[in-house]
Amino acid sequence: MAREKRSVPGAAAIKLEDGETAAHEKRAVSVTVYPGALECDVCYGTLTPPLFQCVRGHLTCSTCTGENGYECAWCHEQETTFRCRVMEHLLAGLNVPCEFKHKGCAAMVPYGDKKSHESSCFYAPCYCPIRGCAARYSGVTLLGHLENNHPEIGRTHVKPAVVSSLMMCDGEPARLVYLNLDGGGAAVFLLVVDRSQMPAGRTLWVVRLKLELVKEEQEQQKEFRYKIMVAGKAGILSLSGEPEAIGRLTAPYKASSFLFVPDVMLDDHPDQGLPVLAELS
The CATH number that applies at residue 251 is 2.60.210
Read off the pLDDT of residues 101-141 as tens digits, 9 standing for 90 and up: 988 999 988 887 888 888 888 889 999 999 888 888 898 99
C-alpha to C-alpha distance for 169 and 172, rounded to whole angstroms: 5
Q: What is the secondary structure of 16-64 as a DSSP string?
A: -TTS-EEEPPP--------GGGGB-TTT--B--SS-EEETT--EE-HHH
Say what the pLDDT of residue 44 is: 84
Say what the pLDDT of residue 77 is: 63
- CATH number of domain containing 101: 3.30.40.10
Say what the pLDDT of residue 119 is: 81
Say what the pLDDT of residue 260 is: 92
- Domain membership of residue 191 (yes or no) is yes
- Domain membership of residue 194 (yes or no) is yes
Q: Are 245 and 220 in contact (CB under 8 A)?
A: yes
C-alpha to C-alpha distance for 11 and 25, rounded to whole angstroms: 7
Say what the pLDDT of residue 78 is: 63
Residue 147's domain comprises: 142-280
Task: Specify the number of domains making up the chain.
Answer: 2
The answer on 253 and 179 residing in a single domain is: yes
Low-confidence ranges of the chain (pLDDT < 70): 1-28, 65-70, 76-80, 198, 213-221, 267-272
Pairing state between β 154-158 and 174-180: parallel
Say what the pLDDT of residue 69 is: 57
- Domain membership of residue 131 (yes or no) is no
C-alpha to C-alpha distance for 43 and 94, rounded to whole angstroms: 21
Say what the pLDDT of residue 185 is: 85
Q: Are 76 and 111 in contact (CB under 8 A)?
A: no
H or E stretch covering 190: strand 186-194
Burial letters 103-137, b for 16+ CB under 10 A, else e: eebeeebebbebeebbeebbbbebbbbbeebeeeb
